[in-house]
């Protein structure tokens, strides 16, 4: 980890059982190895190098097995600025363990609510199912949240609840299409190419438009999702965050 990591980086799961299996040495050696081999480019807090990567908070972009991760450390990542680190495999494993322990600790500190209560708020007072779906239940207008806990940190989930405009991922862009003969229609963009535009509208309808039939396709810079700040209490928001943070693709997690 002696050079900057670009957009593609590691993904590390956080299960306690895997932690026990990863290394047999002294876990206290991990912080020292991380400081010696990784801090120069990733920083003391693990969030240097850009690309939205935060090593010590479990924010990574490249789904990988543990052996893949060790390979990235010892061999680098072709096509990126991530160079190989000259170190024994046993030391690389201790760095991986340290990163995972820190991320697990961060996750535990962030999640303070009650998942059962959060599910009740999500499906009731919060009205979240009017736009979102979980495991096929709900609307498809907003992003599917079935695996949100596996791709977003609790802090990021909370921010999307209280300040939806803070970050709108490209795959969640809302567009307004204006037909030549009809009123403008707002929907979440699914696909578009030189010939067609496909969206899911606010009524959960999948609509496809031929480009010649449209006068305009405009990306909206604001999220249609209302902020829940002031609508939900801080306790209710913490409960919803805890519920959503626990939603992960278990099959995918098990395969890592």
pLDDT digits (tens, 9 = 90+) for 134-159: 998 999 999 999 988 887 888 888 88
Q: What is the pLDDT of residue 15?
A: 34
Q: Please report the sign of the dihedral spanned by the C-alpha atoms of residue 71, residue 72, residue 75, residue 79.
A: positive
Rounded CA separation 177/192 (Å): 12
Contact (CB, 8 A) for 64 and 8? no
Q: How confident is the model at residue 109 (pLDDT cuts 50, 70, 90)?
A: low
Q: In sequence order, what DSSP letters do the residues of 6-69 get, joined into one string?
A: -S--B-----HHHHHHH--S-TTHHHHHHHHHTHHHH-TTS-TTSTT-BGGGTB-SB---HHHH
Q: What is the pLDDT of residue 53?
A: 67
Instruction: Name which of 94, 84, 93, 89 is nearest 29 in CA terms.
Output: 94
Q: What is the mean pLDDT of residues 90-111?
A: 73
Instruction: Name which of 197, 157, 190, 158 is nearest 173 in CA terms.
Output: 190
CATH code for the structural domain at 115-163+226-255: 1.10.760.10
Q: How confident is the model at residue 104 (pLDDT cuts 50, 70, 90)?
A: low
Q: What is the pLDDT of residue 105?
A: 58
Q: Quick check: do 16-110 and 115-163+226-255 share a fold?
A: yes
Does residue 231 carry a pLDDT above 80?
Answer: yes
Q: How confident is the model at residue 207 (pLDDT cuts 50, 70, 90)?
A: very high
Q: What is the pLDDT of residue 179?
A: 94
Any idea what DSSP says for residue 143?
A: -
E strand or H helix that includes residue 179: strand 174-179
Architecture of domain 16-110: Orthogonal Bundle (1.10)
Q: CB 195: neighbour CB atoms within 10 A?
A: 9
Q: In sequence order, what DSSP letters do the residues of 190-253 get, joined into one string?
A: EEE-SSEEEEEETTS-EEEEEGGGEEEEEEESS-SSPP-BTTB-HHHHHHHHHHHHT---HHHH
Q: What is the mean pLDDT of residues 202-215?
A: 93
Percent of the chain with pLDDT over 70: 74
Residue-range domain boundaries for the chain: 16-110, 115-163+226-255, 170-220
pTM over 0.85, yes/no = no
Architecture of domain 170-220: Roll (2.30)
pLDDT digits (tens, 9 = 90+) for 3-57: 333 333 333 333 333 333 343 445 458 888 888 877 777 777 677 666 656 666 6
């Amino acid at each position: 980890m002696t050079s900057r990591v670009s957009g593609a980086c590691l993904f590390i799961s956080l299960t306690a059982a895997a932690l026990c299996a990863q290394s047999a040495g002294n876990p206290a050696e991990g912080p020292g190895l991380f400081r010696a081999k990784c801090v120069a480019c990733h920083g003391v807090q693990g969030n240097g190098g850009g690309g939205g990567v935060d090593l010590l908070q479990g924010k990574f972009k490249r789904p990988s097995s543990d052996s893949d991760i060790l390979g990235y450390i010892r061999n680098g990542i072709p096509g990126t600025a991530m160079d190989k680190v000259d170190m024994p495999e046993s030391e690389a494993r201790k760095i991986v363990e340290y990163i995972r322990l820190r991320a697990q600790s961060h996750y535990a500190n962030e999640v303070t609510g009650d998942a059962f209560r959060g599910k009740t708020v999500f499906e009731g007072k919060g009205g979240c199912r009017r736009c979102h779906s979980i495991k096929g239940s709900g609307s498809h207008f907003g992003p599917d949240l079935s695996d949100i806990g596996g791709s977003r940190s609790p802090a990021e989930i909370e921010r999307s609840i209280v300040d939806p405009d803070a970050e709108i991922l490209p795959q969640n862009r809302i567009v307004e299409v204006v037909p030549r003969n009809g009123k403008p229609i707002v929907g979440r963009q699914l696909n578009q190419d030189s010939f067609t535009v496909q969206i899911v509208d606010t009524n959960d309808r999948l609509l496809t438009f031929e480009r010649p039939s449209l006068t305009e396709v405009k990306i909206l810079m604001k999220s249609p999702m209302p902020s829940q700040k002031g609508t939900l209490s801080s306790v209710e928001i913490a409960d919803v965050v805890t519920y959503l943070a626990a939603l992960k693709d278990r099959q995918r997690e098990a395969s890592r």
